[in-house]
Chains A and B, each alone.
Chain A
């Protein structure tokens, strides 16, 4: 969570490197053992929760997996009456909306991170960082509300007409625009993930050694050249990690997307047409899934989403850790 705290005053040493001040007692110290046992037990609940989560998803998804096999991943028929389910459009929509959102968010988020660490006057850093943190704290449903009543009318009247006039001949901007669309969903997603990418990138850039900047400046680089040739490349792995954290967020984001993306089981190249995502499909159809196979198909889609976000997040964390080892980078942003 971004709003949790001001960052630590100095790098916090990793637990592993911390000296053992208090070696394990040779005498049985019951109170100590009890204390340790209780907190260990509470901590063990977390892996337990994760395992049961995966188990529940897998068990409930099993009937659909057996019935549709791997074809579930690319078949595009979603017909509750005929009991035929293919998640192709859902997967397509999830990936396209998220990747598009990331593409929009990267320059904005990096702009914030670079501005905060390299260019902003000192007095401006805290307030701007706080505003960005707040952006992460806005509830998803509020983004959805704003999207429906502000963003979509804005797109319809200001953005889309010139866009279609210029690029309407390409398949990406063809067809009529009714509001709820892949474009609207991707834009709201971008707004939502900017603070995550920005917060982690900022931590990564702060972890770049000062000598890196000084060396570039000493060689006669301008300030921008120092950032572009010395600072950003040094933090590259961490920034990629930050972007992937943002991607993980976007993939699983539910409410705002459900309210804006149009919710149609369709694969369309045009960003102006409605689409669908896995999360949105679950949100919309779960309570009306009347047959057990229908429910199972939704669970399978959910399991798929769960696995994808897990992999993306794990990779992201490894990348961030590599750059800023030992610092509590990233977790604060979540």
Chain B
């Protein structure tokens, strides 16, 4: 009897330990990746890194100014196209999404969120690059926008759903028409959440490489033209990491550190903004 109880107690303790161990093991890669990014990338981040463009392969020096500016252009344009559509669709889902159409849009949004980004890349190629005859920053932006829309639609919906029902009731009781209630009261209350959701979504597409491979293509030179191929940080990392030169690897680590820093800052910002607003669980 007591032997059996002892065994069960021991089993419980052991399994708790195993769970803790597994959880630790799952988080370990993140700490390792951060550690390596800082260890291998931090030393290369200086003014040149941000202000210069690449030097010919094999030489040392140079920076990734063209990729940073390019990423800014492509991602900014993608946000310009994708955010209004995504936020509008999110408002629809939260305000009118109870019926069959709402179910369909929600399902499609989730399906699109699960679509491999490389697929979006080749579809955007058929939409933009094939008819236009050349790769362009615009094509890259369209590809990223297609990824952004369903992402933003779902987060916007969730943020609007968090707004207490009483607010809507109060506004409607005061005689506000429905659209004003929605825009001026509900969406406005949820605005912090929507904006942070948008920021996080934008940060995610900023890290995407696959959709840009056949749309923005990449460019070794500084370019700001929307109709020309353009470089982006993730593309740059891919090329540099796969290349044979020490110098390229050095720049790849530094670029990755910058990209990761951007993602981290936005994630922290999102966490902070939603926490102060809605409290914690």
User: A residues near B, CB below 8 A?
Assistant: 1, 3-9, 12, 15-16, 18, 21-22, 29, 31-32, 34-36, 38-47, 49-50, 52-53, 56-57, 60, 107-112, 114-116, 118-120, 126, 128, 130-135, 137-146, 148-150, 191, 194, 198, 222-225, 228, 245, 248-249, 251-255, 259, 279, 282-283, 286-287, 298-299, 302, 305-306, 309-310, 312-314, 317, 328, 330-332, 334
Contact = CB atoms under 8 A, between A and B. Distances in A.
Interface of B: 8-9, 11-13, 15-16, 18-23, 25-27, 29-30, 32-33, 36-37, 40, 84-85, 88-89, 91-98, 101-102, 104-105, 107-123, 125-127, 146, 149-151, 153-155, 158-159, 161-162, 168-169, 172, 177-180, 182-183, 193, 196-197, 200-201, 203-204, 206-210, 213-214, 234, 237-238, 241-242, 249, 252-253, 256, 259-260, 263-264, 266-267, 270-271, 274-275, 278-281
Contact of A255 (B11, B127, B159, B210): B210
A314 B93 CA distance: 19
Contacts of A44: 105
A149 B206 CA distance: 23
Contacts of A133: 267
B11 A42 contact: no
15 contacts: A4-B158, A9-B279, A16-B98, A36-B96, A46-B108, A108-B25, A111-B20, A137-B267, A141-B237, A145-B256, A149-B40, A149-B249, A254-B209, A255-B234, A331-B158
Given A225-B11, A254-B210, 5 more contacts: A5-B274, A53-B123, A111-B23, A142-B237, A255-B238
Q: Which 8 A-B pairs have the closest CB atoms?
A: A252-B116, A111-B22, A139-B207, A42-B88, A35-B179, A222-B12, A43-B92, A313-B114
B155 A5 contact: yes
B37 to A, nearest CB: 7
Given A40-B92, A309-B114, A299 B122 contact: yes
Contact of A46 (B15, B20, B109): B109
Contacts of B95: 39
Contacts of B172: 21-22
Contact of B114 (A40, A249, A255): A249
Nearest to B13: A224
Contacts of A249: 114
A4 B93 contact: no
Given A40-B92, A56-B127, A225-B12, A317 B256 contact: no
A85 B108 CA distance: 32
Contacts of B153: 43, 46
From B26, B27, B161, name the one whose CB has the most chain A CB atoms within 10 angstroms.
B26
Contacts of B110: 313, 317, 330-331, 334
Contacts of A5: 155, 158-159, 193, 196-197, 270, 274, 278
Main secondary structure of the interface of A (DSSP, over half): helix
Contacts of A251: 116
Most buried by B among A245, A255, A282, A328: A255
B105 A43 contact: yes
A39 B84 CA distance: 10
Contacts of B13: 224
B114 A34 contact: no
Nearest to B91: A39
A162 to B, nearest CB: 19
A103 to B, nearest CB: 14
B280 to A, nearest CB: 6
Contacts of A131: 27, 30
Contacts of A40: 92, 96, 101
A134 B267 contact: yes
Given A47-B105, A302-B118, A4 B196 contact: yes
Nearest to B178: A32
A286 B112 contact: no
Contact of A150 (B16, B36, B102, B207): B36
Nearest to A145: B241
Contact of A8 (B89, B115, B161, B204): B161
B33 A138 contact: yes
B248 to A, nearest CB: 11
A134 B30 contact: yes
Contact of A112 (B22, B214, B279, B281): B22
A31 B162 CA distance: 25
A18 B98 contact: yes
A299 B119 CA distance: 9
B204 A137 contact: yes
Contacts of A223: 12, 16
Contacts of B196: 4-5
Contact of A146 (B36, B121, B125, B234): B36
A222 B11 contact: yes
Contact of B20 (A119, A135, A150, A259): A119
A43 B87 CA distance: 9
B167 to A, nearest CB: 12
B116 A254 contact: yes
